[in-house]
Structure 1
Amino acid sequence: MTNLNLSSNELGSKLIGSSWNRSRYIVQTRLSPDNGKYFMPCLDNPRFESVFKFTIHEIPADSHVQYTNTSLVVAQESHREPLSDGRIAIRYVPSPQISMYQVGFHHSLFSNIRAASKYTNDTIVIWAPTQDIKSCYYLLNFGQSIIDMLHEYSTINRTLVTGPINIVGIPANVHGYEIASWNLLTNNVIRILYKPEFISVKQLDEMKFELTQQLCRIWLSSPGEPARTRWKEEWFKEGVASYLAYYFLSQYDGASQHLLHRTLSQYGLEMKHSAMLHDLHHTTPPLVSFNKELAVNIPWRYKELVTMKTASLLWMVENWLGSEKFHQALIKYINSRRGMYISLEDFMASLDHDTVECSHQFFNGSTASRILNSWFHHSGYPVINVQVLRRGNVDIVQLKQAIYRISPDDKRI
């Protein structure tokens, strides 16, 4: 177990002084696998996991110090203990066994609003500056709806995490939530507030997608689970989370009768076009080349490739198998692997087993695993050239396949 003692004497000192700008009002961690080791130098392996125990010391009231009312860490508060020098020690229960970059805390003068799921004790809490908290109700209600959809989809009464899911808006230029976080989610404050007079439709779509994708990641597996579910290929988990995010967004818009309601087919075309945009160049690697990479370590230029290509392939298989058959197989597989390892090979074998009598049989007896393997192990997109040959009253269709990519001289071949 690793003990972290955080003193507000040290934290508070950052908030003292005439040069302090009032718009900078928080102390916040946002660790990455490569830089988390500098937070605690003895733990320099991003795959190393430990149990962390937090203690925060609050100093006595002082008119010269800006105080905070928010203290969030990766574990639940245990108790508060007054000390002889007037400080208060806030002690937290030991965290789950997690990696260094999943450790986080937040200290600020923020207000919060919260909503609970109607199925389990899952609670979503949004923290923001008091003057902006009213603009967070849209995201709060939306997040609650997605959590309820996740519970309905999973068909079992199971909480996502132990304790609330805290969403914190921070004044930093970050894009999206941390992949490995589960109950302390930080994002750029402008991607959390909903102000109709300033926000565009595209911004609203990004706001909803990012939160839905993150909640899907948590549902698929999170370090805060009582029995940890682990994915051997994290890029594959990212693709499944992205596909499910679009699936739930289409369900949400349909249920709310949104004027700009888009179906999963429309989202599917967006996924496909985005994936093709990032998969054109001849140097683009196949998806399985990321098998040993942590999701947070995948190079930024391949993030869209990994998420959108995998998601669009799952959407393609769903169309072939039939939506009901595909989702029944997916839910059954995820529920059966709770607390165990999930692998790409195991998933495809389970999908073959549960969809052998699919409503739309593959040509030449092909299975879902054979189709997916051909896409996962090769880069680019195959292009089918179709030529119809007429011989009397008989039409013959001739198919030729070529690789769709861009050559060094910028010609498509």
Structure 2
Amino acid sequence: MRGAFAFFALIAGSLFGQSFYLSNDVVPRKETVELTIDPARETFEGFVSIDVELRAPASTIWLNAKNLTIGSAFIAQGDTVRPAEVIRSSNERIGIYVGKELTGPVAAQINYQGRLDDKALSGPYRRKVEGEWYAYTTFAAIEARRAIPCFDEPRFKTPWDISIRVKREHKAFSNGRQISETDEPNGWKLVKFATTEPLPAEMVAFAVGPFDVYDGGAAGHGTPVRVITAKGHAEEGHGAAQATAAILPRLEAYTGIPYAFGKLDHLALPVGAYGAVENPGLITYRTKGLLAPPNQETAAFTRALRALQAHEIGHQWFGNLVTQASWDDVWLSEGFATWISAKMMDQGLSPERVHLAAIAARERMMAVDYSARSRPVRIAINSREAARDVYNRVVYEKGAAILLMLEGWLGEDHFRDGLRAYLNEHRFGNATTDDLAAALRAASGNDPSRVLNTFLNTAGVPELRGQLLCDRDSPPRLRVTKASPGSVPVCWRAARVASSCTVLEGPSTEIALPTGTACPAWFYLNSGGTGYYRTHWTQAPLPALPELSGAERLTLVYDLRASKNTAAQAALARLASDADPDISSAAREALK
């Protein structure tokens, strides 16, 4: 009894001190998984062997698991294999206890059983489609633990070896390409997949069932593309394959890095927790967003599909090739994918038209950011509930708007060069906001750290006011004031004065105009229309209208709407007859 008491005391002490995050001293190096799945059955069998590096002596390896029935567990080190006890915790963890302290490389081996829920939208689940059962997965953000005992945090990226035993009449898919298929007794076969590049657990995916496959050929630098559908619907994947052929080469060209995950499958789900999930090699989508009968794709469907694919394929660089080190920085994944999807859109639209759409999206985000529902882009994630709610509108849309602003401030070429350096330096690893700032600083010579801190860690929209100072005894100056603390990059221009950018730090900044410049007839804050701030106009820059770009005029419409004064109303009335229908429509709406 004394030994049992000592064991209980040890485990109770370990549990009492557990934080939401797993230990830094236990690091997974590789996961080998073998599953046996029949979608017609509610349960599945699993075996996982996790190569782990113990950086400090430990007798218990803690990892994530939820709703899994553990059969047996072992710890292997060298040629020694020891049976292990399984400690069950109430916080979605299990401990593999070996009874003595170990250090260095070990392997945790676990036999278990899981459940294919026919009501769930995430984790491993199953659905009947037209009389046939299929098994699917959606693991973002912390649902991989419902299918595989694992280290279910984004900082733990490992290669995965996955094999799936299925009925011979079924097909199986996962992140890696299939490398073998071996018949087994009683109507089963074992399908093995190539070892993946390092992935976080939430990006692992698999599917089993009587699927059909549309072969989309190769795209970009020779990546094989397929669309996987329920039986009888393969030809509905034609449009999805065409969209990939248009988008993938553009992403490869912009980043300077070929697609890194071997194959690119698009899998149609009957239902799912999200519209799509960017699992490398096996992107999943709700069926209605991915498939359409041949020759029945409407223009609206095609636009929506290409926008969705641009986001998900964009994630293969921003989120998968380089993964945020923690959920606090999930904007590095979702903000980037939202921003780059607009850049990569291939709908026959001009860059100006795409920019106008981005400005309209930014305005919708600002409305949220002014409301009581607003929250910072970056918040500390310290609970399972917070992790499950990490994918929200602010992270996507304000994150994208911040990137648009940085690109406008630093310059397109410098910004792209910084992103390429960031991706190459952290390839197949993790990164933080500080890592991004360092890459952009090296490429541009401007340090965005304080700007990022202001816009990521504070809710709300900065409000600016500008005034030309043209005194008889002093050179012309532009005074810009802001009502809130923090660092705000402002790009501005004036009559006969080219665009220039500065970072506002204090409540008031005076900017000297170039030597010899006469007092301009007008000035405009938010040159290029890329800034995430509101300019309040006491006198609208009507003389500037013929010289403003479409992006600047649309931004002006939204700023004037917020200004709510007589001068603003007069300017909006003039903009209501703008030749650009997007701008005139926005102005008429603002006048209501």
The aligned counterpart of 2:421 is 332
Using the TM superposition, give the Cα deviation of residue 383 of structure 1 relative to its aligned residue in structure 2, in angstroms.
Answer: 1.2
Return the alpha-carbon distance in structure 2 between the equivalents of residues 94 and 390 of structure 1: 68
Using the TM superposition, give the Cα deviation of residue 248 of structure 1 relative to its aligned residue in structure 2, in angstroms.
Answer: 0.8
Alignment of structure 1 residues 14-413 onto 2, 5 Å: 22=130, 25-40=133-148, 42-43=149-150, 45-46=152-153, 51-58=160-167, 67-68=169-170, 70-95=171-196, 98-117=199-218, 119-129=220-230, 131-156=232-257, 158-162=258-262, 164-172=263-271, 174-179=273-278, 181-194=279-292, 203-222=301-320, 229-232=322-325, 233-249=329-345, 252-253=346-347, 258=348, 263-282=353-372, 284-290=374-380, 297=387, 299=389, 303-356=392-445, 367-387=447-467, 398-402=479-483
Return the alpha-carbon distance in structure 2 between the equivalents of residues 247 and 12 of structure 1: 43
CA contact (8 A) 2:198 2:429 kept: no
More strand by share: 2
CA contact (8 A) 1:154 1:335 kept: no
Using the TM superposition, give the Cα deviation of residue 351 of structure 1 relative to its aligned residue in structure 2, in angstroms.
Answer: 1.2
The aligned counterpart of 1:6 is 36
Return the alpha-carbon distance in structure 2 between the equivalents of residues 299 and 144 of structure 1: 33
Using the TM superposition, give the Cα deviation of residue 241 of structure 1 relative to its aligned residue in structure 2, in angstroms.
Answer: 1.8
Return the alpha-carbon distance in structure 2 between the equivalents of residues 81 and 399 of structure 1: 71
CA contact (8 A) 2:129 2:270 kept: no
Question: Secondary structure at 1:4's aligned position in 2?
Answer: strand
Q: TM (normalized to structure 2)?
A: 0.54
CA contact (8 A) 2:175 2:206 kept: yes
Return the alpha-carbon distance in structure 1 between the equivalents of residues 305 and 180 of structure 2: 35
CA contact (8 A) 1:76 1:93 kept: yes
Return the alpha-carbon distance in structure 2 between the equivalents of residues 9 and 384 of structure 1: 58
Letter in 1 for 2:402: L
Using the TM superposition, give the Cα deviation of residue 231 of structure 1 relative to its aligned residue in structure 2, in angstroms.
Answer: 2.4
Using the TM superposition, give the Cα deviation of residue 76 of structure 1 relative to its aligned residue in structure 2, in angstroms.
Answer: 3.3
Return the alpha-carbon distance in structure 2 between the equivalents of residues 53 and 21 of structure 1: 25
Return the alpha-carbon distance in structure 1 between the equivalents of residues 436 and 425 of structure 2: 11
CA contact (8 A) 2:161 2:193 kept: no
Moved more, 125-134 or 342-351: 125-134
CA gap of 1:174–1:132, structure 2 versus 1, over 3 A, is farther
| Residues 81-106 of structure 1 deviation map (CA, whole Å, 9 limit, x = unaligned) | 33344543334455555554444321
CA gap of 1:343–1:116, structure 2 versus 1, over 3 A, is farther
Return the alpha-carbon distance in structure 2 between the equivalents of residues 349 and 245 of structure 1: 24
Return the alpha-carbon distance in structure 2 between the equivalents of residues 105 and 242 of structure 1: 25
Residue ranges of structure 2 left out of the alignment (5+ in a row): 1-30, 44-115, 117-127, 485-532, 535-561, 564-592
Letter in 2 for 1:161: F
Q: TM (normalized to structure 1)?
A: 0.74
Superposition CA RMSD, Å: 3.8
Moved more, 135-144 or 394-403: 394-403
Question: Secondary structure at 2:392's aligned position in 1?
Answer: helix
Return the alpha-carbon distance in structure 2 between the equivalents of residues 381 and 89 of structure 1: 55
| Residues 39-94 of structure 1 deviation map (CA, whole Å, 9 limit, x = unaligned) | 34x548556667453231425xxxxxxx43x3212333332333344543334455
CA contact (8 A) 2:181 2:190 kept: yes
Matched residue count:
369
